[in-house]
Amino acid sequence: MIYERPNTVSEAVEILSKSHEKKSILAGGTDLLVQMRSGYYRPSHIVDIKNIPEATQIRDDGDTFLVGAGVPGAQLSEHVELIKAWPGVIEAMDLIGSTQIQGRATLGGNLCNASPAADSVPAMIAADATCIIAGPNGYREEKIENVVTAPGVSSIANNEFVVSIRLAKFKTGRADAYLRFIPRTEMDIAVVGAAVCVLIDKKGICLNAKVSLGAVAPTQVVIETAPQILIGTRLDEETLDKLAKAARASCNPIDDKRGTIEYRTSVAGVLTKRAAKIAFDRAGGA
């Protein structure tokens, strides 16, 4: 097993472009090391991206933030402007694992590990985030919802990697929220996750909205009817009930050790409704 630590994006792409059989990007390692240790996966090459400046910084790019794919959660939770702009994304990231896990785990790793239960992914989807991907043909930018294609499978090619995540800057009237259900209070993987982002006008009328769910289908789900249900309303009880119903209808979960189909579907509605209320309050709609 060979370990490499490139210093630039192009060096990394060069290593990735060589025909090694099993290459793994190492960001925080909180998924990769567990998989290696359990014998589930054994890469031949490990490419650590934590020495690449673009992947380890949070940069102000004019209208947007560029969050390096190797930035640990603990550092995101210290970034005042990001928290103000995207409380939901940051709280989703912050929910991942323990304080110790936060010292290492990254948004990029959470995304590229491609688990249907990944906490930050629905939140990034609701936030309309994108990711910057580097490969042999240079950079490309992809919407987050197009990255995870099946459990454990992503649309990032073998010779590509995610350099950073792009998130818009703060905007008055816009706010997001993320809630998940776990049996304990910490240290569990989401049984259901619900992310909601709303944009409201000064009177509290919803102008736009995006809602995404995790752990209720093979990949994260975008509730297509959510804008239709929410736009033009003040997120009153009746509207939220409609949203909860739409959330349940969009579930296609499995029965597994973490939850039953019935339970996941039912709680998806509850959490969507609760998260929508929080986002609405945060946007100033209370």
Residue ranges binding another protein (CB under 8 A)? 1-3, 5, 26, 28-30, 33-34, 36-38, 46, 48, 50, 72, 74, 97-101, 103-104, 181, 183-189, 256-260, 262-263, 266-267, 270
Asked whether position 1 contacts ligand FAD by CB under 6 A, the answer is no
CA-wise closest residue to 281 among 219, 198, 222: 198
Choose between 50 and 210: whose C-beta lies nearer to another protein: 50
Q: Give the tokens for residue 166.
A: 């792009």
Identify any residues that bridge with 206 across adjacent strands, giving them in sequence order.
200
| Interface region with ligand FAD, contact rule CB under 6 A, candidates 77-85, 101-109, 136-144, 256-264 | 101-109
Identify any residues that bridge with 24 across adjacent strands, giving them in sequence order.
46
CA distance 224 to 176: 17
Q: Of the candidates 71, 90, 118, 209, which one interacts with ligand FAD according to CB under 6 A?
A: 118
| 258 interface partner picked from another protein, ligand FAD, none, CB below 5 to 8 A per type | another protein
Choose between 69 and 126: whose C-beta lies nearer to ligand FAD: 69
Report helix angle 261-282 to 237-249, nearest 10: 140
Contacts of 6 (CB under 8 A, 6+ apart): 12, 14, 15, 47, 48, 49, 51, 52
Query: Under DSSP, is residue 221 helix (H, G, I), strand (E, B) or coil?
Result: strand
Choose between 26 and 125: whose C-beta lies nearer to another protein: 26
Q: CB of 115: closest distance to another protein in angstroms?
A: 12
Q: CB of 108: closest distance to ligand FAD in angstroms?
A: 4
